[in-house]
Amino acid sequence: MSRLTAENVTLAYDQRVIAENLSVAIPDHSFTVIVGPNACGKSTLLRALSRMLKPAAGSVLLDGSAISSLPAKKVAKALGLLPQSSIAPDGITVADLVARGRYPHQGLLRQWSADDERIVQESMAATGVAELADRYVDELSGGQRQRVWIAMALAQQTPLFLLDEPTTYLDIQHQIEVLDLCAELHEEQGRTLVAVLHDLNHAARYATHLIAMKDGAIIAEGAPADIVTAELVERVFGISCQVIDDPETGTPLVVPAARKPRNGGSGGGRAAAEQTTAAVAAGAPRG
C-alpha cells in the first residue's frame, strides 16, 4: 500500500524539463531512500512529492487525491518535510523552534494546547535535544541544529516524513547520528520516511526501499540487497566498483575501484579498466 504516489509526472523548472513521465509509489512504513548522481532529479522528485513543486503534467497523489488540490494545512498534517536549507530566526530558542512544528495543528483561537506542549517535549526527547531546550539555535553545532530541525518536523506529527539531503554539510559523526535517528523514527514510531541521500553506502545500509535515479528516470527500485550490484552502480554513477557485504550489517557495500596508474596510452588504461570490471563482475559476491 502506498499513501503517497506520483503518477506519470513531468517535472520542470520553467522550460527546463528535469524528468518526464515518472511514476513512483512510496511503500507505507518504509524507509525509502532516493539516490543518484548530481542533477539526476532526485531532489526535484522529492520536491514534487512534498507539493513544493507542481508537476507540469501528471499528478502527485496523497491518499488517492491530487496533493495540489488539498488544503495546505491538511497536507501538512499528513506529510512533513525537512528542507535542504532552513533559516533559524535570530535569537530563537530550541523549544520555540520545535514548537513551530505545531503550526498546522493550531489556529487563531487554538494557539498552544496542552497536546502541543506535550508533543513538543516528546519530539525534543526523541531527537535528544531536550536538554538544549532553552539554548539559542544559532549557537548549536551543525549536528545538533539538524536534530532540532528534525524535532520540529516530528512535532508536526505526520505519518509521512520527507528529508532532502539531511546529512549534507555534516561531518561523518553527525551524519551517522542523523541517520541512526531516522532509522529509530522509522522502526519505533512506524513513520514512512523518504530521504534523498548522496552517500550510496549510507543509502544501502539504512534504506528498506531504494530508488536509483539517473537523468530524470528511475533505473531500479527495491530492497538494497536485491538491487545494488556493480552493474547498477556503473550504470547509474558511471564508476566501476566492487559490491561486498557490509561487515557490520550485511547490507551491500560499494567499494569503488582503485585508480589505475597511467602507464602507456589511454587505450591501455581503458583495457585495464575493462579487465577490472570483468574481474569484479566475476568475483563479486553479488551480481
The answer to whether 87 contacts other proteins (rule: CB under 8 A) is yes
Q: How far apart are CA 254 and CA 232, in angstroms?
A: 11
Judged by CB under 8 A, which of 21, 39, 65, 112 binds other proteins? Answer: 112
Task: Decide: residue 93, CB within 10 A, 0-12 exposed, 13-18 middle, 19+ buried.
Answer: middle
Distances from the Cα of 58 to the Cα of 107, 147, 219, 247, angstroms: 33, 34, 20, 43
| Percentage helix, strand, coil for the chain under 3-state DSSP, each rounded to 5 | 40, 25, 35
Structure-block grid coordinates of residue 162 = 520527507
Residue among 156 and 240 whose Cβ is closer to other proteins: 156
Instruction: Report how far apart the first and last C-alpha atoms of the chain are (Å, whole number).
Output: 29
The answer to whether 117 contacts other proteins (rule: CB under 8 A) is yes
Query: What number of chain residues touch other proteins (CB under 8 A)?
Result: 46
Among the listed ranges 4-12, 20-28, 89-97, 166-174, the one in contact with other proteins (CB under 8 A) is 89-97
Contact 219, 232 (CB under 8 A): yes
| Contact code string over 61-80 relative to other proteins, x by CB under 8 A | -----------xxxxxx--x
Structure-block grid coordinates of residue 167 = 546529512
Q: Of residues 14-43, which lie at the interface with other proteins (CB under 8 A)?
A: none
| Beta-strand relationship, 209-214 and 217-222 | antiparallel
Residue among 116 and 177 whose Cβ is closer to other proteins: 116
The answer to whether 256 contacts other proteins (rule: CB under 8 A) is no
Contact 251, 209 (CB under 8 A): no
| Contact code string over 145-184 relative to other proteins, x by CB under 8 A | --------x--x----------------------------
Judged by CB under 8 A, which of 16, 90, 248, 266 binds other proteins? Answer: 90
The answer to whether 96 contacts other proteins (rule: CB under 8 A) is yes
The answer to whether 124 contacts other proteins (rule: CB under 8 A) is no
Footprint of other proteins (CB under 8 A): 50-52, 72-77, 80-93, 96, 100-101, 103-104, 106, 108-114, 116-117, 131, 133-136, 139, 153, 156
